[in-house]
Structure 1
Amino acid sequence: MTATMSYQKEISKRRTFAIVSHPDAGKTTLTEKFLLYGGALQLAGSVTSRKKERATVSDWMELERKRGISVSSTVLNFKYRGYSINLLDTPGHNDFSEDTYRVLTAVDSVIMVIDGGKGIEQQTKKLFEVCRRRKTPVFTFVNKMDRPALNSLSILDEIERVLNIEAYAINWPLGSGPDFKGVWDRESRLAHLFERTERGSYKAPVKTHGFDDPYLKELLNESTYAQISEELEMIEHAGVDFNAQDVLEGKTTPVFFGSATNNFGIEALLDSFIEHSPQPQPRHTDSNTIIKPDNPSFSGFVFKIQANMDPRHRDRMAFVRIVSGKFTRDMQVTHNHSGKKLRLSNSSNVFGRERISVDEAYPGDVIGIVGGNYFSIGDTLSEDNSICFNEIPRFPPECFSFIHNPVPANYKRFQSGLTQLLQEGLIHFFELADSARKTPVLGAVGILQFDLVKHRMETEYGTKVNLEKAPWTMVRWICEPSSSQSPPRIPHGVQKAVDEKGAPVLLFTGEWHLKYFEENNKGIELNDFRD
């Protein structure tokens, strides 16, 4: 086998995806069960955060364990049936949706988890729209079918109607709630019956039967069997046909039913996903050049930065999605933001808190680079200094808070911690202009981000902080004005400021003030994002 053929094979065996959902739909549980079926875990942990139960592998931060929610994205690498899987577990709480949005720039496909008892929820709609804009293929897992669930046909209809995408059921639930017995696989035309395992800790044994098997008829009872027969006939004749290309183009979402907690349908989902999801995809540069994975020059971009993942070392890790070329330890690349030449020597694969040194990686892989305080989210690393990716969006904050350092002696630690959290993209930072008050202002998508700032400043940097709610609810960036343009007329209730990059912004207390400003400053263009 030639080197080129070997390189192409490595690319084809990569799958990089994220799992997204509304809070409490079962995203973190599904993540852990993938690790169980992929052999990365021998025993599945519990997501309930009870003292005597195991903590979920992907939720490593202390605050996450205390609250039982995911507030930080986690990268998990594992092997499955010859494929190299990069699974990006995202925050479940919508206050941390900006972190999720950034993660979606680094994946090639998404698994969307829906609670079978609730259907499409608000956060699901938001995340799906991000995927639609990026034309990211979406696979759907309808979870918690072992609990009272909505009618399965209604769930399919809601997916198509609310998300405006065709839905093709790969399998079909055999009952729901206490009567849920497994799924009918439409491709193999076999019923997959599952046995419960204690707390879903082990792989569930699977038995298969034909639909006319007397055992299956007896297991389902007469009325349930008749209902499932009717539903299957309906989706066969009235449903959409499966088209693999439509899936890759984001026109159709394959739908799977199951229960992550009890391991119903997990292996079927994972197998089908591996078969039908895309291998690593090209990326556009800021000059609109397309960089394909088989481009021999190494390139990648930083989509996440996390400090203090390992409290023993208190270091800083930049997560890099490889777009093209082969990564090798100690290779030299250009850091596009500074123009400096860097040697990438401290590289790791990540599994929760655990790290494994990585000597080589390929397009689609996500590697962690330890150190490098000059890295920022969105930076490009490449062997070809003409490549510069512009993948990472910043979303306007909707919550604002003054931040105070109550202990002046801790000034250096206070500044160090705040600078680090800004580099991670956890928060936005603003300084008020033309104001007697010089207290810094933090901006966040959700108020829970402020709790995380306070927690991390105190536990990781050893400095107390006081947070005081600020009156504003939105920010707009001021586009570069022409030299002949007169200064803006700033009405009462609108505050001028600059962001952490020195870009001018306006802080508004509500929609009324925004509309009033726009009506009285026709020549000034405002953006809800920073160019």
Structure 2
Amino acid sequence: MAQDINQIRNIGIIAHIDAGKTTVTERMLYLSGEKHRVGRVDHGTTDTDDDPEEQERGITIFSACVKYQWKGFNINLLDTPGHVDFTAEVERCLRVLDGAVVVFSAREGVEAQSETVWRQADRYEVPRIVFINKMDREGADFQSVIDDIGPRLGGRPVPVELPVGQGPPHVADPFRGTIDLVRNKMRQFDPETEGKNVTETEIPDEFADDAALWREQLLEAVCEIDEEAMALVMEDKPVPEEMVIAAIRKGTLERTIQPVFCGSALHGIGVQPLMSGVGDYLPSPLDRPPVQGVDPKKRDKTLSRQPDPKEPFCGLVFKILPAKTGDNYWIRVYSGELKQNSRVYCPNRDKKENVAQLWQIHASKKDRDGQTDTVTTGDICCVIGPRFAITGDTVCDVKENIELPSIKFADTVLSMAIEPESTADRKKLDETLDMLRRQDPTFQAVENEDIGQTLISGMGELHLEVIQHRLTRDFGLNVKFYKPRVNYRETIGGTASVVGQCNRQIGDKQMFARINATFSPLDDASKPVIVFDRLPPDCLPNDVRTAAIEEFRQRAEGGGFIAGFPLSGVKIEVTDAEMAEEGSDEVAFRIAAGDAFDKGLEQAGPVLLEPVMKVEVTTPEDYMGELVGDLQQRRAIVAGTEQRGAMTVITAHAPLKEMFGYSSAVRSLSQGRAGSSMEPLGYQPAPKEDAETFSY
């Protein structure tokens, strides 16, 4: 039976590592009746962390999709990683989601990766609600987390729930329930049924004043959104529950507020109200604007698709899981319907693709009972049959073509040389690396035939370590691994105006071309090279002009002057040119453009750039001195410190080259009591000695 699109919720759980995303997901599956026992991350029994590497480390590495029903809503939920090395999984999920649940730890609050995932959600304009988890942990502080969300994330948190107490059972006022500010009720969750049985009572007198104060703040936010509610408040009349919910939903969809829930997912407290909040406040596919794209045959023509089953089909491939029986393509359907045994068009590859099978997804696999004939607008499904599309590609109706914006992933920052132990392993290694590239868009592998090694690149130490384990353990390859090294870039330090020339005899033909160009650095050294055509209108014929500009762009993609690292942060303006009556063809101007490019980089002063990480260390005060001293030895600049409860948070900017093995160093210096996280910040000039002595 066709499902009501209004009742679909495509949501993601996003957060910093260890905030409890997977535990929240497990609790939702249990409370919805999708499973009869709650899985535990520390026992390796969760549905979504089903990879051996995830179970061994106790963290999420690969995004996973699960489905459940709750109070008439059909929920497609994507559980995402929290570690920065796997941020591509968050990126691709947010690209196709309609809403998100952002989880914060009540003790740690807003952390480094919290800021990253919040910014990603901002970029894709994803409405979100907030769940403050671990309210039963030592040092839990609901108010502190609320106070952090505004200044650090630019959000506007609006609590719709209050915690009753906070902290573990042995403290004077432990966390034991929640107060619903919308309905003015207190909720308690039965530990015997792991939170399934909920008792609602009137708010006890001891909490009444606090609840009234927070309720007043909630109504202030509601009045800003709904004029009718404001009129009732001005007349001292009660605001109906339905009006409050409708106003909060409107503000959430407009992304002006973020409703805040609280609880302890591990003990089943507060998760049921959160599940209801997903249905009440987050958007259905119909609440999202039509997707925009271009006509692949006329790229200046903008097209759109309404979220309507009657529209021509279009969808986006956001994940590929290689399999021997045929790669599993995860697709979000934005419009129309997709039928089994049909054909679709992939405009990115200009290929027609077969849709042999359609499956529902459970965790990272096909749902064994989930094969279906048709999927419709708003669905997330697994398709078997395509061969050419890659992550970020559009699939659409064969006759009604549209190409949606792709997914942009961050550049890799770390590389490692590997080589097979024997020639017999070479072919299997190549096939395995090709499969891993299809699965993970942030993983790269480039073979150097001269030395017999392959350079693999990823987002950090943990990312490469996971790849290493998969090659040896999962695929049984005998591979030699070398020490990781950072991925440098190159830019220029100054400006230069140059003249590139071609004045040579080739056979009996005299070739001539002259081209003038100016090279200057961009404000942001991490931005791609930009080439501007400033040539006078009638300076060159169109074909020659195009060839010259194209040569500059191709040379920019080829790397820099020092060691051929990727070039960035450079503006090239092609300002003038001269040609002869004979011998000034496309080849001549390509040669002249290449000459100008080499001269421009050399004269503007090539600069080697190294990746810099934003480092956040959370430590007891006693170890702060040792940790700051260690950071300074690593060429880090301490950007600030702040107090969060009993812990001190140090924020620093440090070169990635100096941060290998840093998490172990933090544990050693603090006797295991401090923790750290890192995320890419940008690039800065490397020390002069690195540029002088660097060799591949």
Residue of structure 1 in register with 2:503 after alignment: none
1:440 aligned counterpart, secondary structure: strand
Q: In the alignment, what sits opposite 1:492?
A: 562
Q: What are the residue-to-residue correspondences of 1:210-289 with 2, within 5 Å? A: 210-211=202-203, 216-217=204-205, 225=207, 228-229=210-211, 232=214, 235-236=217-218, 243-280=248-285, 281=288, 282-286=290-294, 288-289=302-303
Per the alignment, in what secondary structure is the counterpart of residue 330 of structure 2? strand
After TM superposition, the structure 1 = structure 2 runs for residues 21-100 of structure 1, keeping only pairs within 5 Å, are 21-49=15-43, 55-100=45-90
Alignment pair present for 1:482 and 2:482? no
CA distance in 1, matches of 2:430, 2:565: 24
Summarize the alignment of residues 292-311 of structure 1 with structure 2, pairs less than 5 Å apart: 292-294=306-308, 296-308=311-323
The answer to whether the 8 Å contact 1:472/1:507 transfers is no
| 1:123 Cα deviation after fit | 0.4
Does the 8 Å CA contact 1:77/1:86 hold for their aligned counterparts?
A: yes
Alignment of 1:94-109 (within 5 A): 94-109=84-99
Distance 1:233 1:372, change over 3 A: closer
Q: CA RMSD in A?
A: 3.1
Change in CA separation of 1:459 and 1:385 when aligned onto 2, cut-off 3 Å: farther
2:355 to 344, 369, 372: 344
CA offset digits 1:394-432 (Å, max 9, x no partner): 211111112222221022211111001111125433648
Tell me the residue number matched to 2:502: none
1:409 paired with 2:424, answer yes
User: 1:332–1:483: structure 2 CA closer, same or farther, 3 Å change rule?
Assistant: closer
Post-superposition offset of 1:244 = 2.6
CA distance in 2, matches of 1:381, 1:99: 20
Q: Aligned in 2, Cα 1:24/1:314: closer, same or farther, shift over 3 Å?
A: farther
- Cα pair 2:411 2:442 within 8 Å, conserved: no
> 2: CA distance between counterparts of 1:358 and 1:482?
50
Counterparts in 2 of 1:148 and 1:462: CA distance versus 1, 3 Å: closer
Report the secondary structure of 1:333's partner residue: strand
Partner Cα separation in structure 2 for residue 47 and residue 157 of structure 1: 29
Alignment of 1:452-491 (within 5 A): 452-475=466-489, 482=549, 485=552, 490-491=560-561
Q: Residues 235-258 of structure 1, C-alpha deviation per residue, up to 9 Å, x if partnerless?
A: 357767554322112221110011
* Distance change >3 Å, CA 510–CA 357, structure 1 → 2: closer
| Partners of 2:134 and 2:140 within 8 A in 1 | no
Distance 2:197 2:164 in 1: 16
- Is residue 106–residue 135 contact of structure 2 (8 Å, CA) maintained in 1? yes
**Structure 2 gaps, min length 5:** 224-246, 490-525, 532-547, 568-606, 613-654, 656-681, 687-696
Letter in 2 for 1:268: P
Count of paired positions: 481
Q: CA deviation at 1:16?
A: 0.3
Q: Which residue of 1 aligns with 2:201?
A: 209
Secondary structure at the counterpart of residue 4 of structure 2:
helix
The change in CA–CA distance for 1:236 and 1:329 in structure 2 (over 3 A counts) is closer
Provide the C-alpha distance between the structure 2 equivalents of 1:507 and 1:385, rounded to a whole number of angstroms: 48
The question of 1:147 aligning with 2:214 is answered: no
Structure 1, residues 165-187: CA drift from partner, whole Å, max 9, x if none? 11111111111112212111111
- Percent sequence identity over matched residues? 24
> Partner residue of 1:113?
103
| Cα offsets for 1:136-194 (capped at 9, x unmatched) | 10110000112234443332221122111111111111111122121111111110112
d(CA) in 2 for partners of 1:386 and 1:71? 35
Q: Give the letter aligned to residue 428 of structure 2.
A: R
CA separation of 1:468 and 1:427: change in aligned 2, threshold 3 A = farther
Q: 1:408 to 1:507 in 2, by over 3 A?
A: farther
Q: Paired residue for 2:328, among 308, 317, 321?
A: 317
Q: Secondary structure at the match of 2:317?
A: strand
Q: What's the CA shift string for 1:462-503, capped at 9, x where partnerless?
A: 323233235333457656782575967944355369xxxxxx
Choose 482-491 or 63-72, whichever is displaced more: 482-491
Q: In structure 2, how many angstroms separate the alpha carbons of the residues matched to 1:365 and 1:379? A: 17
Does structure 2 retain, via aligned residues, the 8 Å contact 1:421–1:427?
Answer: no
CA contact (8 A) 2:13 2:21 kept: yes
**Residues 208 and 262 (structure 1), Cα distance of their counterparts in 2 relative to 1, 3 Å cut:** same
Find the aligned partners of 1:29 and 1:197 in 2 and give their Cα distance: 18
CA contact (8 A) 1:189 1:210 kept: yes
Q: Quick one: distance in 1 between partners of 2:422 and 2:386?
A: 29
> Relative to structure 2, which stretch is displaced further, 402-411 or 254-263?
402-411
Partner of 1:188: 183
Structure 2 vs 1, CA of residues 150 and 60 (structure 1 numbering), >3 Å: closer, same or farther? closer
Quick check: 1:496–1:507 contact (8 Å CA) kept in 2? Answer: no
Report the TM-score, using the length of structure 1 for normalisation.
Answer: 0.82
Is the CA contact 1:49–1:66 (under 8 Å) kept in the aligned structure 2? no
Report the alpha carbon displacement of residue 334 of structure 1 after superposing the two structures with TM.
1.3
Q: CA offset at residue 440 of structure 1?
A: 2.8
Letter in 1 for 2:464: F
Q: Judging changes above 3 Å, is the alpha-carbon distance between structure 1 residues 402 and 227 closer, same or farther for their aligned structure 2 residues?
A: farther
Q: Is the 8 A contact 2:98 2:283 kept in 1?
A: yes
State whether residues 189 and 199 of structure 2, in contact with CA within 8 Å, keep that contact through their aligned partners in structure 1: yes
The superposition leaves residues 275-303 of structure 1 with CA deviations (integer Å, 9 ceiling, x where unpaired) of 22111133221454332211521111100
Per the alignment, do residues 467 and 328 of structure 1 end up closer, same or farther by CA in structure 2, a change over 3 Å counting? same
1:206 Cα deviation from its structure 2 partner: 1.2
| Paired letter, 1:49 | H
Residue matched to 1:449: 463
- For residues 391 and 153 of structure 2, the distance between their equivalents in structure 1, rounded to whole angstroms, comes to 30
| Aligned partners of 1:34 and 1:266 also within 8 Å | yes
Kept in 2: contact 1:32–1:44 (CA 8 A): yes
Question: Structure 2: which amino acid aligns with 1:209?
Answer: T
Larger RCO: 1 or 2 (CA < 8 Å, sep 6+)? 1
Q: Is the 8 A contact 1:167 1:240 kept in 2?
A: no
What do residues 324-359 of structure 1 show as CA deviations (whole Å, max 9, x unaligned)?
012222222112233333331211111124432122
TM-score, reference length from structure 2:
0.64
Judging by fraction of residues, say which structure has more strand: 2
Q: Distance in 1 between matches of 2:464 and 2:551?
A: 40
User: AA paired with 1:456?
Assistant: R
**Counterparts in 2 of 1:421 and 1:145: CA distance versus 1, 3 Å:** same
